[in-house]
A = this chain, B = another copy of it.
Amino acid sequence: MVKVMATGAFDILHLGHIYFLKEAKKLGDILIVVVATDSTVRKLKHEPVNPEKIRLDLIKELKIVDKAYLGYENDIYEILKEIKPDIITLGYDQLHDEKTIEKELKNRNIKAKVIRLKEYKEGSDLEGTRKIIKKIIAAYEIQKTIERIEGENK
């Protein structure tokens, strides 16, 4: 039984996440997902739209996910002692560096392979979180413009 681990913020679920998780699961038998805490998301990316508990609960609802955990607050390696993955996957755009992770794993005597996944080629079909946010803001700006114009004509 090969345990594969994938991590991420999974803020506003989209098909890019599903693709990432499916590619990860192909590498083994069981897919375990670690959802980054709000503080980790803040450090690595931005203020999360959805709080960690909600992001975790939603990830658990996916067919592809066998088990899901919330990451640890300060030490991202701490959870590995619990999960004991055989493979740790990295998304193509995740900032973590393979070499650094492998070194940290060795220091902690954790035997896991680190594999970076490739980018989805048919990317145009996917609606990433950033794309979704951009669309919402664009719609909001259009609405504001309409309101301004309508106001001017009153």
Contact = CB atoms under 8 A, between A and B. Distances in A.
Contact of A137 (B18, B58, B132, B140): B140
Copies in the complex: 2
Contacts of A63: 61-63
A127 interface: yes
A145 interface: no
Task: Output the residue of A51, A53, A64, A139 with the most chain B CB within 10 A.
Answer: A139
A73 interface: no
A115 interface: no
Contacts of A132: 12, 49-50
A136 interface: yes
Nearest to A14: B58
